Structure 1
Amino acid sequence: HLYSKYALEDIQVLELIEKDIPSIHCYLILNEDTKIKCHFLHPAPPSPTENDTSTPRDKELLVIAKQIAKKTEATIVTGDLNDVAWSPTTKAFRQISGLKDPRIGRGMFNTFHADYPFLRWPLDHIFHSEHFTLSKIERMPSVGSDHFPLLSELIYDPK
Protein backbone atom coordinates (compact mmCIF):
# COMPACT_ATOMS: atom_id res chain seq x y z
CA HIS A 1 0.00 0.00 0.00
CA LEU A 2 1.09 3.58 -0.60
CA TYR A 3 -0.37 6.42 1.43
CA SER A 4 0.61 10.07 0.96
CA LYS A 5 -0.53 13.37 2.37
CA TYR A 6 0.75 14.90 -0.87
CA ALA A 7 -0.97 14.52 -4.21
CA LEU A 8 0.47 11.88 -6.53
CA GLU A 9 0.28 11.89 -10.31
CA ASP A 10 1.39 9.77 -13.24
CA ILE A 11 1.07 6.71 -11.00
CA GLN A 12 2.29 3.46 -12.52
CA VAL A 13 2.14 0.08 -10.83
CA LEU A 14 4.63 -2.11 -12.67
CA GLU A 15 5.87 -5.67 -12.44
CA LEU A 16 9.40 -4.86 -13.58
CA ILE A 17 11.03 -8.27 -13.20
CA GLU A 18 8.68 -10.78 -11.62
CA LYS A 19 4.98 -11.44 -12.10
CA ASP A 20 2.96 -10.47 -9.01
CA ILE A 21 5.83 -8.42 -7.53
CA PRO A 22 4.68 -4.82 -8.14
CA SER A 23 6.52 -1.55 -7.66
CA ILE A 24 4.95 1.91 -7.66
CA HIS A 25 6.38 4.81 -9.67
CA CYS A 26 4.89 8.29 -9.57
CA TYR A 27 5.40 11.99 -9.04
CA LEU A 28 4.78 13.45 -5.61
CA ILE A 29 3.47 17.01 -5.92
CA LEU A 30 5.00 19.39 -3.36
CA ASN A 31 3.38 22.40 -4.99
CA GLU A 32 2.34 23.50 -8.49
CA ASP A 33 5.99 24.13 -9.42
CA THR A 34 7.65 21.14 -7.76
CA LYS A 35 7.32 17.45 -8.59
CA ILE A 36 9.45 14.71 -7.05
CA LYS A 37 9.96 11.44 -8.94
CA CYS A 38 9.36 8.55 -6.52
CA HIS A 39 9.99 4.83 -6.84
CA PHE A 40 8.50 2.55 -4.17
CA LEU A 41 10.00 -0.93 -4.32
CA HIS A 42 9.52 -4.25 -2.54
CA PRO A 43 11.33 -6.95 -4.53
CA ALA A 44 10.99 -10.53 -3.34
CA PRO A 45 13.81 -11.70 -1.08
CA PRO A 46 16.08 -14.62 -1.77
CA SER A 47 14.60 -17.32 0.45
CA PRO A 48 13.44 -20.93 0.22
CA THR A 49 9.81 -19.81 -0.02
CA GLU A 50 10.26 -17.00 -2.58
CA ASN A 51 13.38 -17.09 -4.79
CA ASP A 52 16.29 -19.51 -4.85
CA THR A 53 18.71 -16.67 -5.63
CA SER A 54 18.92 -12.92 -5.25
CA THR A 55 19.00 -12.41 -9.04
CA PRO A 56 15.42 -11.09 -9.49
CA ARG A 57 15.83 -8.65 -6.58
CA ASP A 58 19.21 -7.49 -7.84
CA LYS A 59 17.85 -7.00 -11.37
CA GLU A 60 14.97 -4.84 -10.12
CA LEU A 61 17.29 -2.57 -8.12
CA LEU A 62 19.70 -2.18 -11.03
CA VAL A 63 16.94 -1.53 -13.59
CA ILE A 64 15.75 1.40 -11.45
CA ALA A 65 19.33 2.61 -10.88
CA LYS A 66 19.94 2.76 -14.64
CA GLN A 67 16.67 4.65 -15.24
CA ILE A 68 17.59 7.22 -12.58
CA ALA A 69 21.15 7.63 -13.85
CA LYS A 70 19.79 9.19 -17.05
CA LYS A 71 17.71 11.82 -15.20
CA THR A 72 18.41 15.08 -13.42
CA GLU A 73 15.07 15.47 -11.65
CA ALA A 74 14.56 15.34 -7.88
CA THR A 75 14.19 11.65 -7.01
CA ILE A 76 13.47 9.39 -4.06
CA VAL A 77 13.69 5.59 -4.01
CA THR A 78 12.41 3.81 -0.93
CA GLY A 79 11.02 0.54 0.31
CA ASP A 80 11.75 -2.85 1.78
CA LEU A 81 14.52 -3.77 -0.65
CA ASN A 82 15.26 -7.11 1.03
CA ASP A 83 18.94 -6.29 0.80
CA VAL A 84 21.42 -5.03 3.38
CA ALA A 85 23.04 -1.62 3.01
CA TRP A 86 26.56 -3.05 2.55
CA SER A 87 25.75 -5.59 -0.17
CA PRO A 88 27.43 -5.34 -3.58
CA THR A 89 23.99 -4.79 -5.17
CA THR A 90 23.07 -1.87 -2.90
CA LYS A 91 26.53 -0.36 -3.42
CA ALA A 92 26.11 -0.75 -7.20
CA PHE A 93 22.63 0.79 -6.98
CA ARG A 94 24.06 3.89 -5.26
CA GLN A 95 26.97 4.16 -7.67
CA ILE A 96 24.88 3.76 -10.84
CA SER A 97 21.91 5.89 -9.73
CA GLY A 98 24.00 8.62 -8.10
CA LEU A 99 21.51 8.73 -5.22
CA LYS A 100 22.55 9.32 -1.62
CA ASP A 101 21.98 7.01 1.32
CA PRO A 102 21.19 9.26 4.32
CA ARG A 103 22.17 6.53 6.79
CA ILE A 104 25.85 6.71 5.88
CA GLY A 105 27.72 8.14 8.84
CA ARG A 106 24.56 8.19 10.97
CA GLY A 107 24.02 4.56 11.96
CA MET A 108 22.68 1.20 10.84
CA PHE A 109 18.92 1.70 11.44
CA ASN A 110 18.18 -2.03 11.53
CA THR A 111 14.53 -2.40 10.57
CA PHE A 112 14.17 -6.19 10.31
CA HIS A 113 13.34 -8.42 12.24
CA ALA A 114 11.26 -6.55 14.84
CA ASP A 115 10.56 -9.72 16.82
CA TYR A 116 14.19 -10.89 17.24
CA PRO A 117 16.49 -8.35 18.93
CA PHE A 118 19.57 -10.53 18.29
CA LEU A 119 18.91 -10.83 14.52
CA ARG A 120 18.40 -7.43 12.88
CA TRP A 121 19.45 -5.96 9.55
CA PRO A 122 18.82 -2.71 7.64
CA LEU A 123 16.50 -3.99 4.89
CA ASP A 124 14.31 -0.89 4.56
CA HIS A 125 15.97 1.89 2.61
CA ILE A 126 15.56 5.43 1.40
CA PHE A 127 17.79 6.99 -1.23
CA HIS A 128 17.56 10.54 -2.55
CA SER A 129 19.01 12.84 -5.16
CA GLU A 130 21.16 15.86 -4.38
CA HIS A 131 17.97 17.97 -4.35
CA PHE A 132 17.41 17.00 -0.69
CA THR A 133 19.10 17.32 2.66
CA LEU A 134 18.33 15.08 5.58
CA SER A 135 16.53 16.66 8.51
CA LYS A 136 15.91 13.51 10.55
CA ILE A 137 16.20 9.74 10.35
CA GLU A 138 14.96 7.46 13.10
CA ARG A 139 13.85 3.88 13.56
CA MET A 140 10.43 4.06 15.14
CA PRO A 141 8.87 1.69 17.70
CA SER A 142 7.25 -1.52 16.51
CA VAL A 143 3.78 -1.29 14.96
CA GLY A 144 3.15 -5.03 14.89
CA SER A 145 4.93 -5.77 11.61
CA ASP A 146 8.06 -7.88 11.30
CA HIS A 147 9.74 -4.60 10.20
CA PHE A 148 10.19 -1.45 12.26
CA PRO A 149 9.06 1.78 10.56
CA LEU A 150 11.88 4.07 9.42
CA LEU A 151 11.05 7.76 9.73
CA SER A 152 13.04 9.86 7.26
CA GLU A 153 12.49 13.60 6.94
CA LEU A 154 13.99 15.15 3.82
CA ILE A 155 14.11 18.84 3.03
CA TYR A 156 13.73 19.79 -0.60
CA ASP A 157 16.61 22.15 -1.37
CA PRO A 158 17.26 22.33 -5.13
CA LYS A 159 20.30 24.62 -4.66
Structure 2
Amino acid sequence: MSVMIANVKMRSDPDGRLLDLVREVQPDLFLAMETNEKWNQALAPLEETMPHTVSHVSDSTFGIHLFSRLALESPEIRFLAGQDTPHVVTGVTLASGETVDFLGVHPRPPLPSQPGTTLGRDAVLYKAALLLRESERTGIVAGDFNATPWETAVKEMRQIGNLQEPRRGYGYLPTFNARSWWMSWPLDHIFHEAGFATLSLERLSAFGSDHYPFVGRLCRISGRGAMPAPQTERAIIREAEQAIEAAKDRG
Protein backbone atom coordinates (compact mmCIF):
# COMPACT_ATOMS: atom_id res chain seq x y z
CA MET A 1 0.00 0.00 0.00
CA SER A 2 1.57 3.29 -1.09
CA VAL A 3 0.71 6.67 0.38
CA MET A 4 1.75 9.95 -1.25
CA ILE A 5 1.24 13.35 0.39
CA ALA A 6 1.79 16.89 -0.87
CA ASN A 7 1.11 20.34 0.52
CA VAL A 8 0.47 22.13 -2.78
CA LYS A 9 0.78 25.69 -1.39
CA MET A 10 -2.58 27.17 -2.31
CA ARG A 11 -1.21 30.25 -4.09
CA SER A 12 1.26 28.34 -6.27
CA ASP A 13 0.49 27.69 -9.92
CA PRO A 14 -0.85 24.19 -10.74
CA ASP A 15 1.25 23.88 -13.87
CA GLY A 16 0.91 20.10 -14.23
CA ARG A 17 4.14 19.02 -12.53
CA LEU A 18 2.38 17.58 -9.48
CA LEU A 19 -0.15 15.78 -11.67
CA ASP A 20 2.74 14.22 -13.60
CA LEU A 21 4.43 13.13 -10.37
CA VAL A 22 1.29 11.42 -9.07
CA ARG A 23 0.82 9.63 -12.39
CA GLU A 24 4.46 8.52 -12.34
CA VAL A 25 4.38 7.24 -8.74
CA GLN A 26 0.89 5.70 -9.03
CA PRO A 27 0.20 5.67 -5.28
CA ASP A 28 -2.78 3.88 -3.81
CA LEU A 29 -3.61 6.97 -1.77
CA PHE A 30 -2.78 10.59 -2.56
CA LEU A 31 -3.39 13.27 0.07
CA ALA A 32 -3.23 16.88 -1.15
CA MET A 33 -3.38 19.83 1.26
CA GLU A 34 -4.02 23.58 0.84
CA THR A 35 -6.37 22.81 -2.04
CA ASN A 36 -8.67 25.60 -3.22
CA GLU A 37 -11.02 25.59 -6.23
CA LYS A 38 -8.11 26.18 -8.62
CA TRP A 39 -6.32 23.09 -7.32
CA ASN A 40 -9.59 21.17 -7.16
CA GLN A 41 -9.96 21.59 -10.91
CA ALA A 42 -6.28 20.94 -11.62
CA LEU A 43 -6.27 17.62 -9.74
CA ALA A 44 -9.66 16.43 -11.02
CA PRO A 45 -8.10 14.27 -13.81
CA LEU A 46 -6.71 11.98 -11.07
CA GLU A 47 -10.24 10.68 -10.53
CA GLU A 48 -9.91 8.69 -13.77
CA THR A 49 -7.56 6.24 -12.01
CA MET A 50 -8.25 7.16 -8.37
CA PRO A 51 -12.07 7.30 -8.34
CA HIS A 52 -12.60 7.11 -4.57
CA THR A 53 -12.37 10.61 -3.13
CA VAL A 54 -13.23 12.80 -0.17
CA SER A 55 -12.44 16.52 -0.06
CA HIS A 56 -13.03 19.91 1.48
CA VAL A 57 -12.23 22.82 -0.83
CA SER A 58 -11.24 26.03 0.94
CA ASP A 59 -9.60 29.39 0.27
CA SER A 60 -8.23 29.50 3.81
CA THR A 61 -5.10 27.41 2.94
CA PHE A 62 -6.64 24.43 4.72
CA GLY A 63 -8.46 22.69 1.90
CA ILE A 64 -7.80 18.95 1.74
CA HIS A 65 -8.29 16.19 -0.86
CA LEU A 66 -7.85 12.43 -0.68
CA PHE A 67 -7.73 10.44 -3.94
CA SER A 68 -7.67 6.63 -3.73
CA ARG A 69 -7.41 3.62 -6.02
CA LEU A 70 -8.78 1.56 -3.15
CA ALA A 71 -12.38 1.69 -1.97
CA LEU A 72 -13.05 4.00 0.98
CA GLU A 73 -15.32 3.00 3.83
CA SER A 74 -17.41 5.74 5.48
CA PRO A 75 -15.14 8.57 4.35
CA GLU A 76 -15.74 11.88 6.09
CA ILE A 77 -14.29 15.30 6.71
CA ARG A 78 -13.96 15.98 10.43
CA PHE A 79 -12.90 19.03 12.38
CA LEU A 80 -10.83 17.39 15.09
CA ALA A 81 -10.47 18.85 18.58
CA GLY A 82 -12.95 21.61 17.82
CA GLN A 83 -10.59 23.32 15.39
CA ASP A 84 -11.63 24.96 12.12
CA THR A 85 -9.25 22.94 9.97
CA PRO A 86 -10.70 19.95 8.04
CA HIS A 87 -9.16 16.50 8.25
CA VAL A 88 -9.86 13.20 6.49
CA VAL A 89 -11.06 10.20 8.51
CA THR A 90 -11.84 7.05 6.53
CA GLY A 91 -11.50 3.33 6.23
CA VAL A 92 -9.53 1.96 3.26
CA THR A 93 -10.28 -1.50 1.88
CA LEU A 94 -7.13 -3.33 0.84
CA ALA A 95 -6.90 -5.78 -2.06
CA SER A 96 -7.16 -8.58 0.52
CA GLY A 97 -10.59 -7.31 1.54
CA GLU A 98 -9.41 -6.10 4.93
CA THR A 99 -10.24 -2.51 5.93
CA VAL A 100 -7.68 -0.33 7.70
CA ASP A 101 -7.95 3.19 9.10
CA PHE A 102 -6.52 6.27 7.39
CA LEU A 103 -6.35 9.77 8.82
CA GLY A 104 -5.17 12.73 6.76
CA VAL A 105 -4.37 15.73 8.97
CA HIS A 106 -3.19 19.30 8.46
CA PRO A 107 -3.41 21.34 11.69
CA ARG A 108 -2.68 25.05 11.85
CA PRO A 109 0.98 25.93 12.43
CA PRO A 110 1.97 27.64 15.68
CA LEU A 111 2.80 31.34 15.50
CA PRO A 112 6.27 32.10 16.91
CA SER A 113 5.15 35.63 17.81
CA GLN A 114 2.24 34.35 19.91
CA PRO A 115 3.09 32.04 22.84
CA GLY A 116 0.66 29.19 23.40
CA THR A 117 -0.44 28.87 19.78
CA THR A 118 0.74 25.25 19.60
CA LEU A 119 -2.40 24.22 21.50
CA GLY A 120 -4.69 23.78 18.47
CA ARG A 121 -2.05 21.90 16.49
CA ASP A 122 -1.14 19.66 19.41
CA ALA A 123 -4.79 18.89 20.16
CA VAL A 124 -5.38 17.74 16.57
CA LEU A 125 -2.34 15.43 16.72
CA TYR A 126 -3.45 14.01 20.07
CA LYS A 127 -7.00 13.46 18.82
CA ALA A 128 -5.73 11.62 15.74
CA ALA A 129 -3.61 9.37 17.96
CA LEU A 130 -6.55 8.66 20.26
CA LEU A 131 -8.80 7.77 17.31
CA LEU A 132 -6.27 5.20 16.11
CA ARG A 133 -5.66 3.92 19.63
CA GLU A 134 -9.38 3.37 20.23
CA SER A 135 -10.03 1.67 16.88
CA GLU A 136 -10.02 -2.12 16.56
CA ARG A 137 -8.37 -1.80 13.14
CA THR A 138 -4.76 -1.02 12.37
CA GLY A 139 -4.16 2.34 10.73
CA ILE A 140 -2.11 5.14 9.24
CA VAL A 141 -1.98 8.88 9.88
CA ALA A 142 -0.35 11.17 7.34
CA GLY A 143 -0.12 14.82 6.42
CA ASP A 144 1.58 18.13 7.03
CA PHE A 145 1.75 18.10 10.84
CA ASN A 146 3.39 21.53 11.02
CA ALA A 147 5.66 19.87 13.57
CA THR A 148 9.01 18.11 13.55
CA PRO A 149 9.50 14.53 14.82
CA TRP A 150 11.44 15.74 17.87
CA GLU A 151 8.72 18.05 19.20
CA THR A 152 7.03 16.91 22.40
CA ALA A 153 3.54 16.78 20.86
CA VAL A 154 4.72 14.44 18.09
CA LYS A 155 6.58 12.19 20.53
CA GLU A 156 3.50 11.95 22.74
CA MET A 157 1.27 11.41 19.70
CA ARG A 158 3.39 8.43 18.72
CA GLN A 159 3.35 7.08 22.26
CA ILE A 160 -0.44 7.41 22.61
CA GLY A 161 -1.18 5.84 19.23
CA ASN A 162 1.66 3.28 19.29
CA LEU A 163 2.81 4.79 16.00
CA GLN A 164 5.95 3.84 14.12
CA GLU A 165 8.26 6.48 12.62
CA PRO A 166 9.23 5.28 9.11
CA ARG A 167 12.01 7.89 8.84
CA ARG A 168 14.20 5.78 11.07
CA GLY A 169 16.70 4.20 8.73
CA TYR A 170 15.93 6.62 5.87
CA GLY A 171 17.62 9.75 7.14
CA TYR A 172 16.44 13.28 7.84
CA LEU A 173 14.33 13.71 4.66
CA PRO A 174 13.26 17.35 5.18
CA THR A 175 10.10 18.34 3.33
CA PHE A 176 9.97 22.09 4.04
CA ASN A 177 11.20 24.59 2.81
CA ALA A 178 11.60 23.40 -0.79
CA ARG A 179 12.48 26.97 -1.81
CA SER A 180 15.42 27.35 0.54
CA TRP A 181 18.86 25.81 0.16
CA TRP A 182 19.72 26.16 3.87
CA MET A 183 16.50 26.17 5.92
CA SER A 184 14.71 22.83 6.00
CA TRP A 185 12.74 20.63 8.41
CA PRO A 186 10.72 17.41 8.22
CA LEU A 187 7.13 18.67 8.67
CA ASP A 188 5.30 16.13 6.49
CA HIS A 189 4.86 12.65 7.93
CA ILE A 190 3.45 9.17 7.35
CA PHE A 191 3.10 7.28 10.64
CA HIS A 192 1.62 3.81 10.97
CA GLU A 193 0.64 1.35 13.65
CA ALA A 194 2.44 -1.93 14.20
CA GLY A 195 0.24 -3.77 11.69
CA PHE A 196 2.35 -2.28 8.88
CA ALA A 197 6.01 -2.38 7.96
CA THR A 198 7.80 0.26 5.88
CA LEU A 199 9.17 -0.95 2.55
CA SER A 200 10.49 2.42 1.37
CA LEU A 201 10.27 6.13 2.05
CA GLU A 202 11.09 8.76 -0.54
CA ARG A 203 11.09 12.52 -0.87
CA LEU A 204 10.11 13.40 -4.44
CA SER A 205 11.20 16.29 -6.64
CA ALA A 206 9.93 19.84 -6.10
CA PHE A 207 6.92 20.93 -8.14
CA GLY A 208 6.54 24.63 -7.23
CA SER A 209 5.25 24.38 -3.66
CA ASP A 210 7.27 25.25 -0.55
CA HIS A 211 6.85 21.59 0.49
CA TYR A 212 8.36 18.56 -1.23
CA PRO A 213 5.96 15.70 -1.96
CA PHE A 214 6.58 12.56 0.04
CA VAL A 215 5.72 8.89 -0.54
CA GLY A 216 5.78 5.87 1.73
CA ARG A 217 5.36 2.29 0.58
CA LEU A 218 4.01 0.03 3.30
CA CYS A 219 3.35 -3.67 3.68
CA ARG A 220 0.52 -5.10 5.74
CA ILE A 221 2.13 -7.61 8.06
CA SER A 222 0.50 -10.97 7.35
CA GLY A 223 -1.68 -12.44 10.03
CA ARG A 224 -1.49 -9.46 12.37
CA GLY A 225 -4.49 -7.34 13.24
CA ALA A 226 -4.51 -4.08 15.11
CA MET A 227 -2.09 -4.40 18.01
CA PRO A 228 -3.48 -3.91 21.53
CA ALA A 229 -2.96 -0.37 22.76
CA PRO A 230 0.23 -0.21 24.85
CA GLN A 231 0.11 0.66 28.51
CA THR A 232 0.84 4.31 27.92
CA GLU A 233 1.26 6.31 31.10
CA ARG A 234 -2.19 7.49 32.06
CA ALA A 235 -0.76 10.93 32.79
CA ILE A 236 0.20 11.42 29.13
CA ILE A 237 -3.27 10.40 27.91
CA ARG A 238 -4.90 12.66 30.49
CA GLU A 239 -2.72 15.60 29.42
CA ALA A 240 -3.71 14.95 25.80
CA GLU A 241 -7.40 14.86 26.72
CA GLN A 242 -7.02 18.11 28.67
CA ALA A 243 -5.28 19.74 25.69
CA ILE A 244 -8.16 18.66 23.42
CA GLU A 245 -10.75 20.13 25.80
CA ALA A 246 -8.76 23.35 26.16
CA ALA A 247 -8.49 23.65 22.37
CA LYS A 248 -12.24 23.14 22.02
CA ASP A 249 -12.91 25.85 24.61
CA ARG A 250 -10.59 28.25 22.84
CA GLY A 251 -12.23 27.35 19.52
The verdict on a shared fold, with TM-score over 0.5 as the criterion, is yes
Q: Which residue of 1 aligns with 2:13?
A: none
Structure 2: distance between partners of 1:49 and 1:40: 27
Structure 2: distance between partners of 1:128 and 1:14: 20
Q: Which residue of 2 aligns with 1:125?
A: 189
TM-score (norm 2): 0.59
| 1:21 matched to 2:85 | yes
Gaps of 5+ in 2: 1-64, 224-251
Q: Which residue of 2 aligns with 1:36?
A: 100
Structure 1: distance between partners of 2:198 and 2:207: 24
Q: Which residue of 1 aligns with 2:167?
A: 103
Is the Cα–Cα contact under 8 Å of residues 37 and 74 in structure 1 kept in the other structure?
A: yes
Q: Deviations over 1:28-69 (max 9, x none)?
A: 111362111000000010127999611100011011212222
Structure 1: distance between partners of 2:96 and 2:202: 30
Between Structure 1 and Structure 2, which shows a larger proportion of helix residues? 2
CA shift for structure 1 position 18: 4.7
CA shift for structure 1 position 71: 2.9
Percent of aligned positions that are identical:
35
CA shift for structure 1 position 101: 0.9
Secondary structure of the residue aligned to 1:106 is: coil
Is the Cα–Cα contact under 8 Å of residues 132 and 158 in structure 1 kept in the other structure?
A: no
Is the Cα–Cα contact under 8 Å of residues 133 and 157 in structure 1 kept in the other structure?
A: yes
Relative contact order, CA 8 A, sep 6+: which one is greater? 2
User: Which one has a bigger Cα radius of gyration?
Assistant: 2
Secondary structure of the residue aligned to 2:100 is: strand
CA shift for structure 1 position 133: 1.1
Is the Cα–Cα contact under 8 Å of residues 68 and 97 in structure 1 kept in the other structure?
A: yes
Gaps of 5+ in 1: none
Structure 2: distance between partners of 1:19 and 1:120: 27
Which amino acid is the alignment partner of residue 54 of structure 1?
Answer: T
Q: Which residue of 2 aligns with 1:7?
A: 71
Aligned length: 159
Structure 2: distance between partners of 1:71 and 1:77: 13
**Aligned residue runs from structure 1 range 62-141, under 5 A:** 62-141=126-205
CA spacing shift, 1:48–1:130, aligned 2, 3 Å:
closer
Structure 2: distance between partners of 1:86 and 1:152: 20
Is the Cα–Cα contact under 8 Å of residues 98 and 129 in structure 1 kept in the other structure?
A: yes
CA shift for structure 1 position 70: 2.4
Is the Cα–Cα contact under 8 Å of residues 45 and 51 in structure 1 kept in the other structure?
A: no
Is the Cα–Cα contact under 8 Å of residues 125 and 157 in structure 2 kept in the other structure?
A: yes
Q: Deviations over 1:104-142 (max 9, x none)?
A: 232111000100120100000011111111111011100
